[in-house]
Structure formats: C-alpha cells, structure tokens
Chains A and B, each alone.
Chain A
Amino acid sequence: MTTITFTLNGQGISAEVEPQTLLVDFLRTDRGLTGTHVGCDTSQCGACTVLVNGRSARSCAMLAVQADGTEITTIEGLGTPEAPHPIQQAFMQCHGLQCGFCTPGMVMSTASLLSTCPNPTDEQIVHGLEGNLCRCTGYVNIVESVRVAAAALK
C-alpha cells in the first residue's frame, strides 16, 4: 500500500492505495465519484477524462499513485446540477449531450482546451476533442457547445 496525498476537486485528501489501482477506479470506487466513466479498455474513448493540474488526462491510463502531489479535478468538481459551470451550461443550451455517457469526458476536455486556448477556431476545437468519442450526437452540437462556452468564459 502507498499513501497518496493530493488535491481532489479543491480539497486536500490523503488515501492508501495499491500501486496497481488505476486513478479511474480510485475515483469511482474509493471516492464514489461515479461521474467519471469507463467506456473502453484500451484508453481510447476519453470517457474517463479528468483534469490533472488543469490539463486533460485519461484517468484509466494513470495510476492513482501518479496523482500524488497533483491537483485532480473531476466532473463533480466543475459544477453541480444546481450550479453548473458555464461549460456545462453551454452543453445544455446547445443540446451537446444525448445519453450523457461521454459527456463528463467531453466537458473536462473542453475545460482543458479553453484553459490553454480560450479563443479556439473550429479546427482547434475539433483537434481538442479528438480524444473523446461520442456515439449519439454526431459531434456537431458538441463543437457548438464549445464555441458557446468559449464566448461565455471570456
């Protein structure tokens, strides 16, 4: 067992984990934060995307021990049903979600993109979402959601 200490959704936490525990499993099982989803087993779908020190990363391709000393933000840390983040508001406004399973990952990737590229072109948006699969929306409303979110965050 290893002790890890890090900031999770703004709160300092400390936990004991086995080295082989994936960050996604730690979040979902140990912390009950089930908003981060598992959509594949090859780290390609992006449904498990979280922010690590403000940058998007796949929590299924990270060990929980690698979170030590970092700031991790999950979808739960971005906003709530009562107080959604502007990115979440944009997704709702633009019908950027249907079944919702890919959505937390899409939203976190959007947060990461807009933090480094606050005025993205459509090409930059598409490039920024390349790691997130969606099977329901056909992506066009997601791209629009990112445009609207970018404008709202200015």
Chain B
Amino acid sequence: MNAFEHHRPASTAQAVAALSAAADGRFLAGGQSLLPAMKFGLAAPSDLIDLGRITELRGIQLEAGVLRIGAMTTHAEVAESAIVQAAIPALARLAAGIGDPGVRHRGTLGGSLGLNDPAACYPAGVLGLGATIRTNQRTIAADDFFVGLYETALEPGELIVAVEFPVPEKAAWMKFKQPASRFSMVGVFVSRRPAGVRVAVTGAASCAFRATALESALTQQWSAQACAAVTIDAATLNTDLHASAAYRAHLVRVLTQRAVASL
C-alpha cells in the first residue's frame, strides 16, 4: 500500500476542507472496499480523510414517515436497529445480508453508495425505496444518483451526510449471491408506495437500475403472476464468469416474483 497522510477530522466541514487541501485525497468510511483496493494498487490516494470520528454522520431516526440514516452508519447498525426493523424491515434484511459480520461491523451506507459497486446491495435498496441522498451541498434523488459503473452524481469533494428513506407500504429484498464474492449476482428490491411501485435491480448490469417493465406489470396487478409474462432484455445485462446475461435476466424476474410473493 502506498504511503499517505491520514486525517481525522471531527466535523463534516473539516473533512471537506481536508479533502480539498489534498493533492489526491479520498474519504475513508468503513474501508471495506477502499483498503482492499489500495492493497491491490487500484487506488493510491495522497491523503485519506477518515470520517470515523464525525458523530454528525451517524445515527438512525424515524420522523414523519421518513427513515433517516447517517452516512457513517454501519451495515450492522442498520441491520440491528429496532427502528429500521419496524419501519422498513426489508432494508434491515438487506443490510444484514451484506458481506459477512466482519464487513457489516465496519462497512457503511455512505461508503457503499459513494463507490457504487455494480454488485453492491445498497444501491438497489436506495433506488428501490426512492430515497433521497443528502450531501454536504445538496439533496439528490435516488433516480439521479446512480449514473454508471462506479460512477455517481457526486461532485468531487462532495460528501454524503445521510440518506432519507420514505417508509413504504410494502417492501422486500431478494438477493442471489455470487458464490465466490457473495456480492449480489442479482439483487432485487421491490417496494410499493403511494407514489408507485419500484423494482430496483443490482448486480445485473453496470449500475443499479429500475426494471420498468416489471414495475408496470406490478402496478397493473400486484402479484407474482403478473410478472410471469415480463421478459427482461438481456442485452444490457452483464455476462461474466459466474452468470450469463440471459441467466441474470431470468433471475431478475424470478427474484421479483419471490419478493412480491413474500409480502
């Protein structure tokens, strides 16, 4: 791993300032993706701005039908939170299924979203619930946040502070694990809210996306059967060592059906 300066700011403002002062700085959240990348030489920042001390980035609150989760909240904290389990149990289950206990004790919501790994679980949850990402500069709707492969709408130096999840009527998460990495080979987050049905898919393409054909079918009729006639276009989906695009397309539909059937 390359040598770098390590900063431990106590506030968001200090963190942002430290990053802008750095030649080639990165925020360090849980480190569960960044540190392995640095070990492999895939990332070599001049400075790491460690967010671990910033208490205003932590915490879980439910207020007026919106679940607010601080960016530095760990997956374990979300999974074990009585508030989350009561308000959006599917989100707690999603967090409980990320990686393994060691990853969940350190990995964070903000870290996961900022990286936007195409096989990460949280992007499907955030997109599938129509959440809002609050940064130190603005708010970004989930639909605008996930731009492409490892690419988000965040500006350089912009820091996620919290994510606000509107509490849905119903929601479910189904994850099919890639057998080696245990990331989502295909992960589907389904929700039904007054605003409509969302079916968000991760692991299947270069970025999390909404499966609009399935959303339409479920809007017409909220049932697993309604999805049976929907074919997912494999053309934009990934083929890799572990699954073909065709199989992924098939799993998108199956997991969506199972998500709906579970509710």
A–B in direct contact per CB < 8 Å: yes
Contact B102 A131 (CB under 8 A): yes
Smallest beta-carbon distance A42→chain B, Å: 6
**What CA separation (Å) do A49 and B36 show in the bound complex?**
15
Contacts of A62 in B (CB 8 A): 31, 35, 106
Contacts of A44 in B (CB 8 A): 181
Size category of the B interface is 20 to 34
Size category of the A interface is 20 to 34
| Closest B residue to A59 using CB positions | B102
Q: Does residue A43 face the partner (Cβ distance < 8 Å to B)?
A: yes
Contact A130 B35 (CB under 8 A): no
Contact A131 B106 (CB under 8 A): no
Contacts of A41 in B (CB 8 A): 39-40
Q: Binding site of A, secondary structure by majority: helix, strand, loop or mixed?
A: mixed
Contact B101 A130 (CB under 8 A): yes
Contact A61 B32 (CB under 8 A): yes
Smallest beta-carbon distance B157→chain A, Å: 21
Contact A57 B102 (CB under 8 A): yes
Contacts of B32 in A (CB 8 A): 43, 61
Q: Does residue B148 face the partner (Cβ distance < 8 Å to A)?
A: no
Contact A46 B3 (CB under 8 A): no
Q: Does residue B63 face the partner (Cβ distance < 8 Å to A)?
A: no
Q: Does residue A2 face the partner (Cβ distance < 8 Å to B)?
A: yes
Q: Does residue B52 face the partner (Cβ distance < 8 Å to A)?
A: yes
**What CA separation (Å) do A113 and B80 show in the bound complex?**
13
**What CA separation (Å) do A112 and B5 show in the bound complex?**
32
Q: Does residue B117 face the partner (Cβ distance < 8 Å to A)?
A: no
Interface residues of B (CB under 8 A from A): 1-6, 8, 31-32, 35-36, 38-40, 48, 50, 52, 76, 80, 99-103, 105-106, 181-182
- Since A18-B3, A22-B39, A63-B31 are in contact, a sample of 6 more A-B pairs with Cβ atoms closer than 8 Å, ordered by chain A residue number, is A19-B3, A19-B4, A19-B6, A61-B36, A131-B100, A131-B101
Interface residues of A (CB under 8 A from B): 2, 18-20, 22, 41-44, 46, 49, 52, 55-58, 60-63, 65-66, 68, 109, 112-113, 116, 128, 130-132
